[in-house]
Structure 1
């Protein structure tokens, strides 16, 4: 090999190494696409997919198997979390219906759509009657995924609220609450058996709003010094409390995917455009790394949400989590997703 060719080979190797480093150290950030609004630009949904692509957003979560959205995702290379809505959980305890659900919503689109996780219920409370159906629905969907030989590509899980954790501070005292343990324990065993992560919706905003002792800087990743537990931000403390609870259930190897996290721009205390913009910007940067308990990041995280949703039920803040304005798709904040 002459000197010129040798130099080219070295440069190529360096280029490959640099690209690999970029891939390994970049933030694993997606954005949730909710459609609970009058003016969400989803007709056709292709314009939303194009908005994801033009902003370098390579991961998405949707909350039901909306067929036009799945069609628009074909060939996009956007990795997808697909939810099973709460009102469908009971039906999926029937193995035939579960198999048909997978055939209709997964196999019909794979591999053109890059499914990553199927989420069986979002924030199902242990005292909710639907909680009785979650585990069986997970197992039936998993069986259907296995029959299609897709288990290495698609993982089945559920998404929890952080209020299932008791004693969240200090994080090394975290444990699943007495009310949640009978519900979550068999789900954790399922996750361990299938090598699936636990999905969790982690919202420092609501913890900050409900506890006057929590400083805004601690919630917005701007606190410089660490507290007595060794943390300088609330997001990591909340996430590590979940990891501690999992470890106490023998699930040391179960990873946590942050399936939602966001900050509202209006509606209640601390909900301003400035605070929300700082939260999203700092979160995107922060999840390139790890937490005290899991220092080897990045932390796979999905920002909530793509658009403000004016028909979202609940408190007024629920309507103001959007990253983009729904009417003209203009960005509400100046963020770099990649």
Structure 2
């Protein structure tokens, strides 16, 4: 795949962005249009409503997009002839098989094509956090798998509205503070460059899982709670760009954008595939409260409704997927794992972030979308700290 090197960002020997002005004032590719955000629709529970009931909930909330972490036939069938767009996921264990182009074609024929066009499948996520899951063999299959799946879509004539990508943990970053110092870990830079070349060629987004909650939980004495909750606060100024950040999520996203630029790529949109805050936790899970969860999600929702972009890309609305729709009672690990839901399994709200007000509005120009996770965890996080006189910032890996 030919690599896209447009030269929007030049990096000198000190690793600094040298022509930031051009980078900061340029909209990235064709992604400047308004798109909706997402909320994870998790399935790791034995008491959740049926897909038909979830579709009814989507309709009541005016939800028009969903993302699932498998190709659940019940969901794909239930959403047929609805206005809900669906992003599906290839399980990690499938990657070796999809290294064979013929197997990839068979997979698309069996898991995607039968549901089109009635079900609006708009994206395929190949694996989850493959760059940082510890399996150095599996990551070698990522680029062949995404290429083979994309080629299968092309061969079948169904590629025009379906992007192919993969979500990554923030642990892919070697540096994340300040955002302009963002860079990928050297040990993954080779495969990352190949993957970014694929995204650049196919105009697909780069997805990142970002949880400011973990940063605060592990270092509450040095990370301001208001900074991670989107509340009014002093924030921080990136010394290399003079951009002001009033929340950690935007700083994390821009760090990824700068990391992409350091590998000489541009025109690749960064989207947040997962973000959220638990409403309950164990005694050592500092900050896992209903009040903080409501504040984080409500404040981010308001920014999404305002079509807000990050300081680096203010004219390009940040697309973010909230985690999660329901509390999931079969998740293992810490108590927080079972308490990310905006709703209980009986469809009552865990807390109100303003979704009901949104649903009752007929004039809003933005729609809500939901994401689904079939088997997904956020435990065993590993903190990486970067010091600043006014702020500590962390990136984390979910194992």
TM-score (norm 2): 0.75
Shift of 1:26: 6.7
Residue number in structure 1 paired with 2:75: 69
Deviates more, 1:166-175 or 1:104-113: 104-113
CA distance in 2, matches of 1:218, 1:27: 25
- Cα distance in 1 for partners of 2:52, 2:87 equals 18
Matched, 1:219 2:243: no
Instruction: Name the residue aligned to 1:20.
Output: none
> In the alignment, is the contact (CA less than 8 A) between 1:31 and 1:57 conserved in 2?
no
Q: CA deviation at 1:160?
A: 0.3
Equivalent residue pairs, number: 312
- Aligned residue among 333, 338, 347 for 1:329: 347
Aligned partner of 2:57 in structure 1 is: 51
Q: 1:87 to 1:190 in 2, by over 3 A?
A: same
**Structure richer in helix, relative to its length:** 1
Seen in structure 2, the aligned counterparts of structure 1 residues 144 and 27 have a Cα distance that, compared at 3 Å, is: closer
**Corresponding position: 1:257 with 2:271:** yes
- Separation (CA, whole Å) in 2 of partners of 1:330 and 1:169: 39
Displacement of 1:260 in angstroms is 1.0
Q: What corresponds to 2:204 in structure 1?
A: 196
Q: Quickly say closer, same or farther: Cα 1:214–1:293, change in 2 above 3 A.
A: same
Q: CA deviation at 1:250?
A: 1.7
1:271 aligns with 2:288: yes
Deviation per CA, 1:217-248: give whole Å up to 9, x if none: 00000033331321110010000000000111
1:289 to 291, 295, 308: 308
Secondary structure of 1:281's aligned partner: helix
321, 341, 351: which one aligns with 1:302 = 321
- Aligned residues of 1:27 and 1:285 also touching (Cα < 8 A): no
- Stretches of structure 2 that go unaligned for 5 or more consecutive residues are 1-31, 239-243, 359-366, 368-399
Q: CA deviation at 1:192?
A: 0.9
Does structure 2 conserve the Cα–Cα contact (< 8 Å) formed by 1:290 and 1:298? yes
Matches within 5 A, 1:25-104: 28-42=36-50, 45-104=51-110
Two-structure CA RMSD over aligned residues (Å): 1.7
Q: 1:275, CA displacement in angstroms?
A: 0.7
TM-score scaled by length of structure 1: 0.88
Distance 1:50 1:194, change over 3 A: same
Shift of 1:119: 0.4
Q: 2:341, 2:179 → 1: CA distance?
A: 29
Equivalent of 1:122, from 123, 128, 133? 128
Q: Structure 1 residues 189, 27: CA separation in 2 closer, same or farther (over 3 Å shift)?
A: closer
* Counterparts in 2 of 1:164 and 1:176: CA distance versus 1, 3 Å: same
SS at match of 1:58: strand
1:114-153 correspondence to structure 2 within 5 Å: 114-126=120-132, 127-128=134-135, 129-153=137-161
Q: Deviations over 1:177-210 (max 9, x none)?
A: 1233233221111111111111111111112222
Distance 2:167 2:88 in 1: 11
- Structure 1 stretches of 4+ with a deviation exceeding 6 A read 24-27
Q: Of the two structures, which has the highest relative contact order with CA contacts closer than 8 Å and spacing of 6 or more?
A: 2
Shift of 1:313: 3.4
Give the CA deviation at 1:301.
1.4
Gaps of 5+ in 1: 1-23
Alignment partners' CA distance in 1, 2:131 and 2:219: 22
- Name the CA distance, whole Å, in 2 between partners of 1:48 and 1:292: 35
Provide the secondary structure at the position in 2 that maps to 1:160: strand
Match of 2:168 among 156, 160, 178: 160
Structure 1 residue 32: Cα displacement = 1.6
Q: CA–CA distance in 1 between the matches of 2:279 and 2:190?
A: 37
Cα pair 1:264 1:317 within 8 Å, conserved: yes
Q: Distance in 1 between matches of 2:343 and 2:35?
A: 20
